[in-house]
Amino acid sequence: MRAACADPADAIRLLLSLTTWTPTAQPSTAPVGAAIATLVSAMGQTLRRCALVSLANACAEYEPSSYDDALTVRAQVAQAFDTEILAAADAYQDATYQALRALRTAVIIDITTRGAQLAALVTVTTPAPDSVLPMAYRLYGDATRADDLIGRADPVHPSFMPTSFEALQS
């Protein structure tokens, strides 16, 4: 799935949903029913763990747009890993537990390190709608950063920026 996504952010979003997937086994009174339920459970566990490995690779390719973005992704990824790490511990799967913890640590350190170098988001408020070019120059001293403001504020038209939106601090 990760290879089918052109943007690592899309891969992270899709893989995060796969890390919580649990298959449902159909109840059966047949003698083989318990074996089928065990197989279905093991399949779900394996697919979740494969999604976590792929998620770690997607995080390595991901470029956060701001410090806040890195924090958000880090929290989501940590939660996904924590859930499966706890499941491995509850099932007494020590090697899997250790491997998932090591992978989680590497991913969290990587995202934290790269995110720490980025600017934080601040809320920009203006008394009236303004054009993006003078706003970019006032905020950054550089009118060429107008595209970033447009992307973050999503105005109806660049000549009428909203009176309140999130922008990079520097």
Q: What is the pLDDT of residue 111?
A: 97
On whether both 12 and 88 belong to a single domain, the answer is yes
Q: Say if residue 101 is in the same domain as residue 146.
A: no
Percentage of residues of the chain with pLDDT beyond 90? 82
pLDDT in tens, 67-82: 999 999 999 999 999 9
CB 169 within 8 A of CB 121: yes
Average of per-residue pLDDT values in the chain: 93
Asked whether 81 and 40 are in contact (CB, 8 A), the reply is no
Number of domains in the chain: 2
Residue 108 shares a structural domain with residue 125:
no
88-104 residue pLDDT tens: 999 999 999 999 999 99
72/47 same-domain check:
yes
State whether 104 and 132 are in the same domain. Answer: no
Q: Which domain holds residue 14?
A: 2-116
My answer on whether 49 and 101 are in the same domain is: yes
| Residue 60 Cα to chain centre, angstroms | 11
Residues 41 and 111 in one domain: yes
Question: Do residues 112 and 33 share a domain?
Answer: yes
d(C-alpha 18, C-alpha 86), whole Å: 17
Q: pLDDT band for position 18 (50/70/90)?
A: very high
By CB atoms closer than 10 A (0-12, 13-18, 19+), residue 168 is buried
Euclidean distance between CA atoms 33 and 41, whole angstroms: 12
In this structure, are 16 and 59 located in the same domain?
yes
